[in-house]
Structure 1
Amino acid sequence: MSNVSFSDIAIIACGTLSLELNYLKKEGFLDAHSLSYTTPGLHQDVPELERQLVKRIIKAKEKVNKVIVVYGGKFCYVNVDEPTRTMQKIIEEHGPGVGRIQATHCMDMLAGEDERDKIAQELAGGENVWWMTPGWIKYRKEVFKGWDKGVANENFPRHTGGAVVLDGIGYIDQYMAEQPEEFLEYSDWMGIPIQGYNISLDRFKSLLLDQAELLNAV
């Protein structure tokens, strides 16, 4: 890994990824000037997502000239009322000092498509998998805000390979040990089994470093 410093960079992320980012900060990899988070699950409320994100970018730029936004580009912000308005356009409106991690969504930040295909083959024989990160477990009420059992039944059971949590921080083992009944209830609500899969955070680190290097070159 590169020795690039984040000390003069503010990082703004979806709260769903706060677990991984705080972990990287604690282990000493992420010496960011500041870390701030939007409410988890705002992919379901894009006006509020944009409001919170813009507010945090403006606040960050009062103190630093470089900002990394940790949001996916394809699935995290889908504006049905204004389809041509994308996450990338929002980023670009704040100038060359603001960059975005290059991934389609939070799962893609932790494991690329090829790696996810391999994991699905290993755990589910290549069947369709519902991917999650630990934040989708911890912030269930926010991520699935407004979802009742009927909506759950419409979405989850067609993922015949079950749900797989891409875990780079040891969260699932601890959660299952400390709150087994809650874990089983979550799985029952989804109507599919949930299992964790241990990964490294190397891809996530590389994507963060790539943006830091690009901002440093501006």
Structure 2
Amino acid sequence: MSDSFKDIAIVACGTLSPELKRLQEEGFLDTEYLYFTKPGLHQNVQELEKQLRNQVAKAKEKTDKVIVVYGGKFCYVNADEPTKTMQNIIESLGDGVRRIQATHCMDMIAGEEERAQIADELAGGELVWWMTPGWVKFRHQVFDGWDQALANENFPRHSGGAIVLDGIGFMDEYMTEKPEEFLEYCDWMGIPMQSNPGNLDRLKSLLLEQKQLLDHE
């Protein structure tokens, strides 16, 4: 069976665009059809759903197979309609649309067991605030509306600090080119930030899993 994505469109949260664009550059994602919603829409689920539906509709104009790159459990939490889930939305988008099986973007780069191992090694098993490069690159969109009080309420209890699951070598470049911005980000969070260099193997396998299911439909 071919591993080609030529006849498949990818619709993803913009927070994960650095990784997906890298896979496209490397030739793994050999599709022309990459569509992104705005980063950070987990804070505005109505807008998230609207943009997701619009991008899937655009994708379906190009091909009848679409893989949605969004987490299930944490990316869509609707306080007004608690029974409505990301899975409900995906099912309502019709045939030929599948979502990769991960809880959020961090889980797409490193699974739960691997994250526990990383936390043990880098943070002595303490509570960690996990991020991907998109959480750094698109900081002001991901944390739109957050003031210092909200930051103080959320970050400092993560005594293991922030760990960026970096499968694309983003953080080395960022810390070299923008050291003041990096330090200011850490100050704003009130916790240290470190990088865990890795790869995109898990993301590739999650994409291939849904591609194979689409090919058999």
- What TM-score results when the alignment is normalised by the length of structure 1? 0.98
Residue type of the partner of 1:211? Q
Please say if 1:91 is aligned against 2:90. Answer: yes
Aligned-pair Cα RMSD in Å: 0.9
Letter matched to residue 201 of structure 2: D
- Name segments (4+ residues, structure 1) moved above 4 Å: none
In 1, Cα distance between equivalents of 2:124 and 2:3: 39
| Structure 2: gaps (5+ residues) | none
Give the Cα–Cα distance (whole angstroms) in 1 for the partners of residues 107 and 15 of structure 2: 13
Equivalent position of 1:115 in the other structure: 114
Q: Which amino acid aligns with 1:159?
A: H
Q: Report if aligned partners of 1:6, 1:33 keep a CA contact under 8 Å in 2.
A: no
Report the CA distance between 1:3 and its aligned residue. 4.6
CA distance in 2, matches of 1:130, 1:32: 33
Task: Map residues 14-93 of structure 1 onto 2, 5 A cutoff.
Answer: 14-93=13-92
2:154 corresponds to 1:162? no
Alignment partners' CA distance in 1, 2:14 and 2:112: 22
Q: CA deviation at 1:62?
A: 1.5
In structure 2, what is the equivalent of residue 193 of structure 1?
192
Q: Structure 1 residues 216, 33: closer, same or farther in 2, change over 3 A? A: farther
Query: How far apart are 1:50 and its partner, in Å?
Result: 0.3
Structure 1 residues 171-210: aligned runs within 5 Å: 171-210=170-209
DSSP-derived class of the 2:175 partner: helix
CA-to-aligned-CA distance 1:44-72 (integer Å, 9 cap, x gap) = 00000000000111111122100000000
Query: Deviation of residue 96 (structure 1)?
Result: 2.6
Distance in 2 (alpha carbons) for counterparts of 1:65 and 1:182: 43
Greater CA drift, 146-155 or 30-39? 30-39
The CA deviation string for residues 109-141 of structure 1, in whole angstroms up to 9 with x for no partner, is 000000000000000100000000000000000
* Matches of 2:31 and 2:10, distance apart in 1: 7
Q: Distance in 2 between matches of 1:10 and 1:160?
A: 40
Q: Which runs of 5+ in 1 are unaligned?
A: none
TM-score by length of 2: 0.98
